[in-house]
Structure 1
Amino acid sequence: MKDFLEIEVKDRQTFSEFAKLLLEDFEKNKENWENKNLGDFLEALQRYSEDVDGYYKNVHPELDANVPTWRVFADILCGATMYE
């Protein structure tokens, strides 16, 4: 089975696959997620959306967090799973 972190999100279809795997990971590994309820997750989502540019500067300098893409949306969702 693929892990949601292995998906190369580049369009709506791959984003949908990513979202499906993200949900499956939550259902199977909830204890490993920093934000286990919707309120905490949405708060982390909001905060990480403000900080994702720092992640890109360090890890993916070719990406611009200010250009909305399916990849950026997926990265923000990933970040919200672990952002405190």
Structure 2
Amino acid sequence: MTYETGRATDANPSDVETREEFTDFLSAVLVDFRSTGASEWENGTLDRFLEAFSAVAEARLVDEPKQEQEQASWRLFAQLVQAATGYE
């Protein structure tokens, strides 16, 4: 499948609550990257990913209330990672 602008990881951050679940999420992100993410993600290189991660953290996640984004959580970290893989 071809993506016009690239895609985000298929790993789902919605159930991440604990550090262990966050590490499981990161493992799923890595599996996705190694399978097709390097060529399909919008930000499949470290420099592009980190640039997008910084931009996502600054811009805030669209679907999350501002108050929840100001309180650090394992889910928020997972959401930022997921968003940064596909952020344009």
Pick the TM interval, shorter chain.
Answer: 0.7 to 0.9
Give the number of aligned pairs: 78
What residue in structure 2 maps to residue 50 of structure 1? Answer: 58
The residue type equivalent to 1:47 in the other structure is A
Displacement of 1:40 in angstroms is: 0.4
Which aligned pairs between 1:1-84 and structure 2 lie closer than 5 A?
4-5=11-12, 8-30=15-37, 31-57=39-65, 64-84=68-88
1:37–1:9 CA distance, 2 compared to 1 (3 A):
same
Provide TM-score, normalisation by structure 2: 0.78
Alpha-carbon RMSD: 1.9
* Structure possessing the higher relative contact order (Cα contacts under 8 Å, 6 or more residues apart): 2
Query: Segments of 4+ in structure 1 off by > 4 A?
Result: none
Output one character per residue of 1:18-42: Cα deviation in whole Å (capped at 9) or x when no partner.
0000000011122220001100000
% identical aligned pairs: 32
Could you list the runs of 5+ residues in structure 2 that have no partner in the other structure? Answer: 1-9
